[in-house]
Amino acid sequence: MTKLPRQILRLIDTAVSAQKNAYCPYSRYPVGAAVLTDGGRIFAGTNVENASYGLSLCAERVAIFNAITRRQTGLKAICVVASLAKPCGACRQVMFEFSTKDTLLYLVSLNPNNRRQSITRTTVHKMLPAAFDPLASGLLAANPKNLLRNRQKRR
């Protein structure tokens, strides 16, 4: 891959650090995530498991919900770090909600010594073809990004 922009390197570093904070005593599968928002801010997330397994949350959703809680309006890029970085289907759908066709997805797979192994760049839309689309379904009248902007105005 060609030289990555500084903001993207920061995004990757944030996800790598977040992976170290994973709470995953059941799966022992730490995942880190970070999102770069339209406003140029970066938010982190890690997987948080629970003794009642179904209550566990993936790193990607924690990072996205963190950004949304801070009133961010859309995602420019997302990074996922794991031994095999492949977002689950549920997370892909949540990513889709706040993405455009240009939202980049960096998948960073690390080897057991946590040395960077491979970085793949794709897009959220490519990773979820035929997504359940809030616009195509008629559930949202406007672009979801505009909806998030409206949310700011309603304050």
Residues engaged in binding ligand THU (CB under 6 A): 24, 27, 29, 31, 47, 49, 56, 58-60, 87-88, 91
97: annotated active-site residue: no
Q: Which of 15, 22, 33, 60 is catalytic?
A: 60
Residue whose CB is less far from ligand THU, 120 or 146: 120
Query: Least distance (Å) from ligand THU to the CB of residue 130?
Result: 19
Query: Least distance (Å) from ligand THU to the CB of residue 81?
Result: 10
Structure tokens at 5: 């922009």
Query: Least distance (Å) from ligand THU to the CB of residue 148?
Result: 23
Residue whose CB is less far from ligand THU, 29 or 132: 29
3-state class (DSSP) for residue 88 = coil
* Torsion sign, CA atoms 89, 91, 96, 101: negative
Residue whose CB is less far from ligand THU, 59 or 108: 59
Query: Least distance (Å) from ligand THU to the CB of residue 52?
Result: 13
Beta-carbon count within 10 A of 137 CB: 8
Q: Cα–Cα distance between 25 and 141 in angstroms, integer? A: 42
Cross-sheet strand order for the sheet of 42-46? 42-46, 32-37, 75-82, 104-110, 116-123
Residue whose CB is less far from ligand THU, 27 or 152: 27
In sequence order, what are the residues at sequence separation of 6 or more whose Cβ sits closer than 8 angstroms to the Cβ of residue 25? 49
Residues taking part in catalysis? 60
